Amino acid sequence: MEESQKLTEYERKRLDNIRRNEEMVAALKLHSKAAKLAKRPRVAKKEIWEKIPKIETETPVVLRRSARARGAPPDYTGLVDPVLSNALAYKFPTRAKPGVKTLGPLSMSDGHRGSHAQSDRAFLDSLLGMASEEEKKLGGSRKSGKILNGNGAKRGKKTNEGSLNLESLNLDPENIARVVPERIVQVQFFPSSSNKMIVVGDKGGHIGFWGVGKRLTYLYRPHQAPISGISVQQRCLSKIYTSCYDGVVRLMDAEKEIFDLVFTSDDEGIFSLSQPKNDSNCIYFGDGSGGFTVWDCRTGKCSSSWALHENKINTIDFNCENPHIVATGSTDRTACTWDLRYTGGDKPTALKTLTHQKYVQSAYFSPSGCSLATTCADNTISIYSGVNLEDATSIYHDNFTGRWLSPFRAIWGWDDSYLFIGNMKRGVDVVSATERAIVTTLQSPHMSAIPCRFNAHFTEVGMLAGATGGGQVYIWTL
């Protein structure tokens, strides 16, 4: 009695449940049934299989073995069908690498990729009219002695620094157009003060033309690989040089309505193309191994060729004030300046070698020619100034664009005040050359993609073109 009083409520319920379960098992007589099952004899599996009668087959089962496993020679005698036999025996010809013999002139009508049949003719007429109008202006400026430089200012005078009001730059919806179908790698304004036309080149070898603010665009495909350079001369707007990664340089001649073959390389691709301002006698291009070639357009021959870098030359830029001075940016982590008047034998001597941590994507002179800006894959924009470019400043900027965008390249504006470069947030970062820092970012709700390549109109201050990986062009204006 005392032990039951010491038990807790939980223990008393547990004992009641055990007692009730034993009474249920006894009422069902489960113990006796379990004892009967335990007494049943167990039959071995061997005895069960012995009781199953064996089925005798008339033909023995033969295991299949390949001729190789049996050590026998193959019994293949060839195809019976002569058509299939000839198809297997046919050897496809190897694709020849494009060269001078396999490549030739391409008519603009064959290279046209526009959607309208009349747009090709309309574009050629407008381009020839624009070229004629610009030639008349240049003729008048020569008579008056007013020779303009690349920025529309008198040669030898520098524009006023800080004259641009950044807050007034605006992006209107009518200044947005998709000009080419693939990722844009080159963008350039026509050097015309009256006609606002832009030309772009994409990854697929397309060349697109667009009159700013107009609805129609004109598309051609003179190349089969990414466009590496576009050069439009102010003295002759109807002739445009284009270069390609596959080593081909073509001249678009609107008067002859043809994409003429100028140069082709069997060994190296061409990754940069440039010409000095107001000089159409020679073109300059760099290849994938660091070679620098001077091509004489009058004779149609190579006048000079040097190995300036150890790797690919990404950009070539001439000094506006001194066209003999050229800057090159290379994948070998250097940017160099050269004086082409002093070759020094087999190779010109570099005036200045600027070493970087990673590959240099671009190196551009400022409009006055007094400074040089480089864009590097180490996430920096460097500005060099001084007589010998001895004053250097590096500015941090995220330059990693991935594989779907063309690498960023910082370009100069309309004077030595600002640099413009895209960012990964669909904006345009503005770098002050005096403050050596990013001072503002141009953004707009109409900007639906990341601008990666830029060009500033040479006379229209505030007109900035930004190109994207989707073939679109955005024009910022005042």
- Global confidence as pTM: 0.74
Asked whether residue 161 carries a pLDDT value surpassing 90, the answer given is: no
Q: Average pLDDT in the 74-89 region?
A: 50
- Taking Cα atoms as reference points, which of 189, 190, 187, 192 lies closest to residue 148? 192
Q: Average pLDDT in the 146-172 region?
A: 58
φ, ψ (nearest 5 deg) of residue 120 = -65, -50
Return the higher-pLDDT residue of 23 and 49.
23
Chain mean position to CA 401: 9
Q: What's the pLDDT band for 160 if we cut at 50, 70, 90?
A: very low
Q: Average pLDDT in the 337-366 region?
A: 88
Q: Average pLDDT in the 389-396 region?
A: 95
Q: Quote the pLDDT of residue 57.
A: 54
- Name the range with the highest mean pLDDT among 40-44, 53-57, 145-149, 180-184: 180-184
Q: Quote the pLDDT of residue 152.
A: 37
Asked whether residue 64 carries a pLDDT value surpassing 80, the answer given is: no
CATH number of 106-146+183-418: 2.130.10.10
**Coil/strand/helix, residue 171:** strand
Residues listed for the chain: 478
Q: Quote the pLDDT of residue 78.
A: 53
In sequence order, the 6+-apart residues with CB closer than 8 A to the CB of 275 are 231, 233, 241, 282, 283, 284, 318
Asked whether residue 170 carries a pLDDT value surpassing 90, the answer given is: yes
User: Are 408 and 429 in contact, with CB atoms under 8 Å apart?
Assistant: no
Give the integer Cα–Cα distance in Å for 71 and 185. Answer: 61
In this predicted model, what pLDDT tens digit does every residue of 85-137 receive, in sequence order? Answer: 444 443 434 444 444 334 688 988 888 887 654 567 888 888 888 888 887 77
The count of other CB atoms within 10 Å of the CB of residue 176 is 16
Looking at the DSSP bridge assignments, the partners of residue 240 are 232, 252
- Percentage of the chain exceeding pLDDT 70: 80
User: Are 465 and 171 in contact, with CB atoms under 8 Å apart?
Assistant: no
Return the higher-pLDDT residue of 105 and 31.
105
Domain ranges, ordered by start, for the chain:
106-146+183-418
Tokens of 277: 């301002």
Asked whether residue 42 carries a pLDDT value surpassing 70, the answer given is: no
Q: Quote the pLDDT of residue 101.
A: 38
In this predicted model, what pLDDT tens digit does every residue of 314-326 receive, in sequence order? Answer: 999 999 889 899 9
Return the higher-pLDDT residue of 473 and 58.
473
In this predicted model, what pLDDT tens digit does every residue of 128-143 receive, in sequence order? Answer: 888 888 877 766 655 5
Tokens of 309: 């870098």
Asked whether residue 167 carries a pLDDT value surpassing 70, the answer given is: yes
